[in-house]
Homo-oligomer: A and B are copies of this chain.
Amino acid sequence: MHSFTEENYLKAIYHLSQKEGPVVSTNGISEYINTKAASVTDMLKKLADKKLITYIKYQGASLTESGQKVATTIIRKHRLWEVFLVEKLKFKWDEVHDIAEELEHINSTELINRLDKFLGNPRVDPHGDPIPDHKGNFNPQHLTTLAQMPVGSPGTISGVGEHSPAFLQYLERSGLTLGTQLTIQGVTEYDGSVSLLINNSTPITISRQVAKSILVYDKH
């Protein structure tokens, strides 16, 4: 199999690709995994030798088919373990990331398939992120940010665009958890902050920054 470290690089490249397109930079990875750029260069060469990425000097790296398979498998494992931690062990959604970060490297296909079944084949993790199937396929989500929704339109919170414990705790305290129904009441001209009605009863105002990190189901 691949080393713990190799897996983390592949996962980092995968996540960065999602945001910044398929080719990711040495510095981007370096920042993302908190490792000096020189070290990243070394590892990129190694991953390229193993055909897990395509790497062109001074240009950047992108996952090959097989690198992508490894990355999505780790993400599958990470998210399934998160479901386990929240659903079965009753952790809060802001407590599970670091533990899942360790659990995702446990090597056993049989284990993960049985875990999947035990959990009832969940499609999303506790933050609303989709769980790839055993072949690495995601079922696509149709989500828009709360900031993009027109005034008056109703929606259901189905994901978050940021995963820091501080942000998740803030959402929890504000009653903005997954599955919450809401309607946009209005947007303040001055700073773009959004006021909304939770479950047709509680009014609340959130900053534009927060609104951008709340993902809502797009029924179309």
Sample of 13 further A-B pairs with CB below 8 A, known A89-B111, A99-B108? A85-B111, A88-B118, A89-B114, A89-B115, A89-B118, A95-B110, A98-B108, A99-B106, A99-B111, A102-B106, A102-B107, A103-B103, A103-B106
Whole-angstrom CA separation of A95 from B109 in the bound complex:
13
Those of A186-211 within 8 Å (CB) of chain B: none
Q: Does A19 contact B (CB under 8 A)?
A: no
The copy count of this chain in the complex is: 2
Whole-angstrom CA separation of A114 from B98 in the bound complex:
16
Q: Does A90 contact B (CB under 8 A)?
A: yes
Chain B nearest CB from A140 CB (Å) reads: 29
Of the candidates B85, B102, B107, B114, the one whose C-beta lies within 8 Å of that of A91 is: B114
Whole-angstrom CA separation of A106 from B88 in the bound complex:
17
Please encode chain A, from 111 to 127, with 1 for each CB lying within 8 Å of some chain B CB and 0 for all others. 10011001000000000
Chain B nearest CB from A93 CB (Å) reads: 15
A residues with a Cβ closer than 8 A to B are 85, 88-91, 95, 98-99, 102-103, 106-108, 110-111, 114-115, 118
Whole-angstrom CA separation of A88 from B84 in the bound complex:
12
**What residues of chain B lie closer than 8 Å to A90, measured between beta carbons?**
114
**What residues of chain B lie closer than 8 Å to A95, measured between beta carbons?**
110
Instruction: Across the interface, name the chain B residue whose C-beta is closest to A111.
Output: B99
Chain B nearest CB from A100 CB (Å) reads: 10
Q: Could you list 9 A-B pairs, sorted by A, with CB under 8 Å?
A: A85-B111, A89-B115, A89-B118, A90-B114, A91-B110, A95-B110, A98-B108, A102-B106, A103-B106
The 3 closest A-B pairs by CB, nearest first: A89-B114, A102-B106, A99-B108
Whole-angstrom CA separation of A106 from B105 in the bound complex:
10
Instruction: Across the interface, name the chain B residue whose C-beta is closest to A89.
Output: B114
**What residues of chain B lie closer than 8 Å to A106, measured between beta carbons?**
99, 102-103
